[in-house]
């Protein structure tokens, strides 16, 4: 039986999303609760896909000229209505056939209507990948997150449902056994998962040295908003895994959270949870041990939260190797048997495949010895698990032979820098010299995840580039560093760099000459409240924020002071948050003209038969148009967003910096069609049918990799025959 139909049958049995809505629409994030990215629709085929045309375009009008925002939404379509999140966490409903706006929900306006003087940054996030739609009997609601609030909205009006939580919303900062005012970041950017009347929340936490929320996995009652069960990913005394941490870490350690989204097997009542790294991302001397359940694929009983099985994919993570995407549920076939499987793609470019019910690895996994760290205080774990099959879908090492030959000058410069960096070895720890990390911090695989068809073929896109991971000492060694500089180094240099130049192509602004652009009061406000992807630093004492502001504005004076733990970090040992080494800048390893310092491909799309572990095909994904114009073969590029695969044998994907949406033949990888977009589609498409016409929609937000920002959605469909009535299905050629 088709994988998607297995899910649809179970979902329709439990909920009143009709069979037609489920089969013709896109009623769950990434297609279904198994996150297969698969559609049974087949009107658009390899034979006619080249005739696709824009059916409608919608622009929200939220992006100002020069503003950097991101629109990463995977739209839901239920019946004739589409639900889309905008930059800033607004939610809109559109007519799916025309793109006409029906209603709009603004969490900031909702707070104002409640009479709250809540800071805008507390309710707004620059990244939102969609919403969750639930229905049972006559009840229907949309679950939407903004800041640290979970809203339940009426799908027909966009208004909060009063019976849910506090007048339609729940503050999920509460119930974490921590002081919310001391947590640097706690929000949700990825839609939650559903099972029966339970909603499983995905959360994003601070990943820097400062205080962070713990990564509790929580199930909320969809009707009331009350917490039904909690699974603690940083185990408490007496819980399994507690001995893999320092004894008191449960009181103060953070992270080990699921930000990427979860998958549900509704037939078996199983919840699959991929977790991220514990904090701090790059130095873990204050959390010695294996650190369960960080970087782990967890299988939980969906009704109770009880652990069924787990597999830790990175031990004691110091490379920010979060599990970056929801796992994919699919059915494999071996020796005439059907096997319920779960596949997890990783930033390191691997696919781990397990039996859904038992956790048995379906391909051999080796616990390989890896290098130790030479940073004082760090205790890197001596081994890491590496699947022996399938082969990695991104390069694992770099030698001198892999360096760019784009121009002789670029090659010479790359060789010179390569000689000064730590060599590219899998799981080589961060270093003062700068460790060459492949794939980079964003993968390999990223949050777009993988698609799967009923034949057991996994389709995954990957970035295939090198990054540099440099570490510097963070604490003062005398009067050469004043307090503000030390605090900046500890909490800000990882993104903005030690020289404060930022990374403008990645949306991280330069802070050089900040005084000419921003008054002191505004700088202090940003540090207090955060903005966009910048977290709030409200956990720092007021005097510390003032020191940072004065340092950035050139107002501070040298003083003999040493970095101190954030104010109010109760429960942590003295100096816990004062890590001795922090990441300072680095990022993508690029040449002077902004091209990767390694040979192409720089991005790929891969088809892997998970029945056998063998690749069916691998093709470059994306291009640099200016290089193509010079006769350079297609290079591929960094990419964000995932693929969609259809029953007709098509793989649709945008994801690339070149502002294209593409279709590939699922059997061969042959490119069949491409279309230009208003901005880069760093999102996963959705496909659906209204009035017998199949549409493909993509959010065009840009905002990453130096791409311009927009807030457009474009829907494509086959042309309506000349003279045909509106709504009449197209005819296939």
Q: How high is the pLDDT of residue 2?
A: 42
Least confident range from 51-65, 249-263, 532-546, 599-613: namely 532-546
Query: How confident is the model at residue 7, as a pLDDT?
Result: 38
Among residues 130, 45, 23, 35, the alpha carbon closest in space to that of 451 is found at: 35
The answer to whether the CB of 215 falls within 8 A of the CB of 258 is: yes
**Longest CA–CA separation in the chain, Å:** 81
Mean local confidence (pLDDT), 207-215? 88
Write down the H helix ranges in 96-246. Answer: 107-113, 120-123
Burial class for 242, CB neighbours closer than 10 Å (0-12, 13-18, 19+): middle
The shares of helix, strand and coil residues in the chain, as percent rounded to the nearest 5, are 15, 30, 55
Measure CA 578 to chain center: 28
H-type alpha helices, 540-666: 542-552, 625-629
Contact 564, 578 (CB under 8 A): yes
109-122 average pLDDT score: 85
Per-residue pLDDT, 538: 67
Q: What is the mean pLDDT of the chain?
A: 90
Q: Range with the lowest mean pLDDT among 244-248, 523-527, 713-717?
A: 523-527
Identify the band that residue 532 occupies on the pLDDT scale cut at 50, 70 and 90: low
pLDDT at 718: 98
Token code pair at residue 562:
């040493």
Give the whole-angstrom CA distance, residue 234 versus residue 257. 9
Cα separation, 426 vs 439, in Å, equals: 9
| pLDDT beyond 50 at 566 | no
Alpha-carbon torsion angle 84, 263, 395, 393, nearest 10: -100
Please state which of the ranges 112-126, 275-289, 568-582 shows the lowest mean pLDDT.
Answer: 568-582
Tokens of 698: 């993509």
With 50 as the cut, is the pLDDT of residue 10 above it?
no
Report pLDDT for 393. 98
Gap between the Cα atoms of 251 and 179, Å rounded: 11
Residue scoring higher pLDDT (475 or 158):
158
Q: Rounded distance, CA 491 to CA 474, Å?
A: 9
* pLDDT over 50 (residue 702): yes
Query: Which candidate, 210, 213, 131, places its Cα nearest to that of 173?
Result: 213
Q: Read out DSSP for 490-523?
A: HHTHHHH-TTS--BGGGTB---TTGGGT--HHHH
Confidence of residue 732 (pLDDT cuts 50, 70, 90): very low
Least confident of 349-363, 453-467, 468-482, 510-524: 468-482
Inter-residue contact 652 to 687 (CB < 8 Å) = yes
Q: What is the mean pLDDT of residues 586-603?
A: 95
Q: Please tell me the distance from the alpha carbon of residue 458 to that of residue 439, in angstroms, as a whole number.
A: 20
Q: Which two tokens stand for residue 310?
A: 């787990």
User: What pLDDT is attached to residue 128?
Assistant: 93
Rounded CA separation 391/654 (Å): 25
Say what the pTM is.
Answer: 0.90
CA atoms of 500 and 485, how far apart (whole Å): 11
The superfamily in CATH containing domain 471-588 is: Cytochrome c-like domain (1.10.760.10)
């Amino acid at each position: 039986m088709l994988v998607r139909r297995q899910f649809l049958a179970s979902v329709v049995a439990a909920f009143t999303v009709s069979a037609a809505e489920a089969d013709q629409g896109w009623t769950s994030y990434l297609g279904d609760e198994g996150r297969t990215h698969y559609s049974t629709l087949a009107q658009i085929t390899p034979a006619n896909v080249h005739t696709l045309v824009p059916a409608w375009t919608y622009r929200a009008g939220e992006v100002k000229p020069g503003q950097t925002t991101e629109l990463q939404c995977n739209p839901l379509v239920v019946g004739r209505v589409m639900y889309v999140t905008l930059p800033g966490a607004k939610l809109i409903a559109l007519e799916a056939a025309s793109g006409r706006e029906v209603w709009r929900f603004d969490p900031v306006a909702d707070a104002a209507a409640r009479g709250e003087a809540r800071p805008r940054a507390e309710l707004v996030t620059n990244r939102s990948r969609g919403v969750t739609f639930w229905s049972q009997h006559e009840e229907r609601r949309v679950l939407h997150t903004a800041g640290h609030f979970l809203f339940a909205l009426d799908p027909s009006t966009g208004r909060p449902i009063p019976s849910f939580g506090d007048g339609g919303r729940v503050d999920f900062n509460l119930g974490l056994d921590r002081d919310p005012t001391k947590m640097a970041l706690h929000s949700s950017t990825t839609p939650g998962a559903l099972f029966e009347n339970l909603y499983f929340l995905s959360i994003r936490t601070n990943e820097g040295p400062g205080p962070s929320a713990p990564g509790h996995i929580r199930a909320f009652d969809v009707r009331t908003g009350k917490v039904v069960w909690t699974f603690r990913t940083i185990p408490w005394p007496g819980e399994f895994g507690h001995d893999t941490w320092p004894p008191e870490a449960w009181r103060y350690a953070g992270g080990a959270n699921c930000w990427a989204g979860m998958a549900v097997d509704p037939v078996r009542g199983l919840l699959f949870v991929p977790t991220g790294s514990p904090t701090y991302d790059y130095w873990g001397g204050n959390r010695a041990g294996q650190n369960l359940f960080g970087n782990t694929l967890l299988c939980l009983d969906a009704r109770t939260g009880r652990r069924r099985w787990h597999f830790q994919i990175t031990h004691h993570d110091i490379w920010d190797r979060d599990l970056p995407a929801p796992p994919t549920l699919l059915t494999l076939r071996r020796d005439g048997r059907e096997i319920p499987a779960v596949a997890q793609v990783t930033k390191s470019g691997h696919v781990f495949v397990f039996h859904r019910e038992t956790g048995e690895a379906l391909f051999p996994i080796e616990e390989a010895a890896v290098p130790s760290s030479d940073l004082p205080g760090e205790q890197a774990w001596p081994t890491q698990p590496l699947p022996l099959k399938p082969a990695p879908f991104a390069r694992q090492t770099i030698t001198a032979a892999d360096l760019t030959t784009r121009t002789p000058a670029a090659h010479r410069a790359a060789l010179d820098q390569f000689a000064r960096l730590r060599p590219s070895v899998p799981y080589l720890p961060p270093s003062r010299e700068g460790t060459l990390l492949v794939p980079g911090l964003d993968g390999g695989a990223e949050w777009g995840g993988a698609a799967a068809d009923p034949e057991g073929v996994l389709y995954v896109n990957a970035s295939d580039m090198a990054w540099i991971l440099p570490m510097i000492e963070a604490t003062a060694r005398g009067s050469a560093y004043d307090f503000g500089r030390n605090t900046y180094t500890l909490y800000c240099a990882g993104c903005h760099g030690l020289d404060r130049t930022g990374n403008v192509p990645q949306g991280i602004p330069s802070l050089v000459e900040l005084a000419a652009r921003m008054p002191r009061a505004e700088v202090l406000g940003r540090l207090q409240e955060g903005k966009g992807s910048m977290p709030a630093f409200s956990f720092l004492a007021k005097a510390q924020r003032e020191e940072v502001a004065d340092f950035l504005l050139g107002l501070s004076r040298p003083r003999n002071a040493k970095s101190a733990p954030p104010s109010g970090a109760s429960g942590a040992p003295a100096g816990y948050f004062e890590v001795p080494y922090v990441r300072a800048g680095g990022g993508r390893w690029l040449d002077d003209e902004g091209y990767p310092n390694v040979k192409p491909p720089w991005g790929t799309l891969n088809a892997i038969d998970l029945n056998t572990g063998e690749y069916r095909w691998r093709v470059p994904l994306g291009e640099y148009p200016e290089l193509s114009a010079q006769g350079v073969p297609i290079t591929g590029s960094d990419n964000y967003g995932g693929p969609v695969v259809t029953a007709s044998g098509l793989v649709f994907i945008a994801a690339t910096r070149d502002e294209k949406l593409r279709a590939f033949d699922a059997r061969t990888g042959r490119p069949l069609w491409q279309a230009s977009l208003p901005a880069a589609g760093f999102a996963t498409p959705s496909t659906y049918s209204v009035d017998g016409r199949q549409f493909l929609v993509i959010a065009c937000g840009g905002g990453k990799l130096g791409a311009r920002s927009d807030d457009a959605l474009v829907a494509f469909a086959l042309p309506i025959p000349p003279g045909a009535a509106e709504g009449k299905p197209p005819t296939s050629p």
